[in-house]
């Protein structure tokens, strides 16, 4: 990913200014590209984790209806989900960790609060807070877990539908981002004399800088439009 950021800086410097040294100026933008890409990856992981958490607590509610303790129900939930999720997903690792915590006499509500802090997910934090309150006041734990699971599932279904609708728009946005670069490459190959007038002089420098600024602004705006947050 670092190489992508460096490549972005070099290609931009060559195509817009015909000067590789100006790549040093664009390295911060390469860093911004890396940061945005990582943010997208983190957002996808959080979405997947939220879905897995919804499944986990729904399974947990079903196990609790069998009359076993919440601590034992955690590990039973882990065993039930292991068949479909394997052992290496983030949610499965968290279930194992929570199980080990309760085995070491850490209260289950504290374990859930710890999960909320580690994942920084609003859904998990809300569940942990409500669960801790219900545990303290003697509320209906199974009902609370089922209701929370349904709320998260509904929210995720809406998000998934929106992601499907916006997928084509995101693809179009990605295509639009590379078109200016493809056009400049084409002109450098087919009509180098046309571009030469924009290189090595102040007017050309200002014009290309204006175009690049507009391109960056439009790319940022397009990214904000196609990003789904619920």
Query: How would you label 134-160 residue by residue, b for 16+ Cβ within 10 Å and e otherwise?
Result: bbeeeeebbebbbebbeebbebbeebe
Distance CA 23, CA 160 (A): 39
pLDDT tens track, the chain, 230 positions? 567 767 777 888 888 888 887 777 777 766 676 776 777 778 778 888 888 888 888 888 888 888 888 888 888 899 889 888 888 888 899 999 998 998 888 888 899 999 999 988 888 888 888 888 887 887 777 888 888 878 888 887 887 777 777 777 777 777 888 888 898 898 888 888 877 888 888 888 898 889 888 888 887 777 776 665 55
Q: Domain segments of the chain: what residues?
A: 45-159
Closest C-alpha to 20, from 199, 192, 147, 230:
199
Using an 8 Å Cβ cutoff, are 23 and 13 in contact? Answer: yes
95 in helix, strand or coil?
helix
Answer whether 142's CB lies under 8 Å from 61's CB: yes
* Residue linked to tokens 């999720």: 85
Residue 62 · residue 79 · CB < 8 Å:
no
Q: How far is CA 110 from CA 97, 105, 125, in A?
A: 12, 11, 11
Residue 57 tokens, joined: 């607590």
- Cα dihedral 14, 37, 221, 166, rounded to 10, equals 120
Buried residues in 193-226 as b, exposed as e (16+ CB within 10 A): eebeebeeeeebbeebeeebeebeeebeebbeeb
């Amino acid at each position: 990913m670092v190489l992508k950021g460096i490549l972005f800086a070099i290609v931009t410097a060559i195509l817009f200014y015909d000067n590789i040294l100006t790549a040093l100026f664009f390295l911060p933008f390469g860093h911004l590209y890396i940061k945005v890409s990582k943010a997208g990856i983190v957002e996808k992981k959080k979405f997947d984790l939220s879905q897995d958490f919804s499944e986990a607590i729904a399974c947990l509610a079903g196990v609790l209806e069998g009359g076993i303790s919440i601590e034992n129900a955690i590990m039973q939930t882990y065993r039930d989900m292991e068949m479909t999720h394997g052992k290496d997903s983030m949610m499965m690792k968290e279930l194992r960790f929570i199980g080990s915590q309760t085995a070491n006499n850490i209260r289950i509500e504290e374990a859930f609060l710890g999960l909320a802090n580690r994942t920084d997910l609003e859904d998990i934090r809300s569940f942990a807070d409500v669960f801790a309150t219900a545990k303290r006041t003697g509320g209906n734990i199974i009902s609370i877990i089922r209701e929370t699971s349904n709320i998260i599932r509904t929210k995720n279904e809406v998000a998934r539908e929106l992601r499907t609708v916006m997928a084509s728009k995101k693809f179009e946005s990605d295509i639009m981002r590379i078109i200016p670069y493809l056009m400049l490459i084409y002109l450098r190959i087919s009509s180098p004399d046309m571009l030469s007038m924009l290189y090595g002089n102040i007017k050309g420098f200002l014009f290309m800088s204006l175009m690049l600024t507009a391109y960056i602004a439009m790319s940022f705006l397009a990214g904000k439009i196609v990003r789904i947050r619920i």
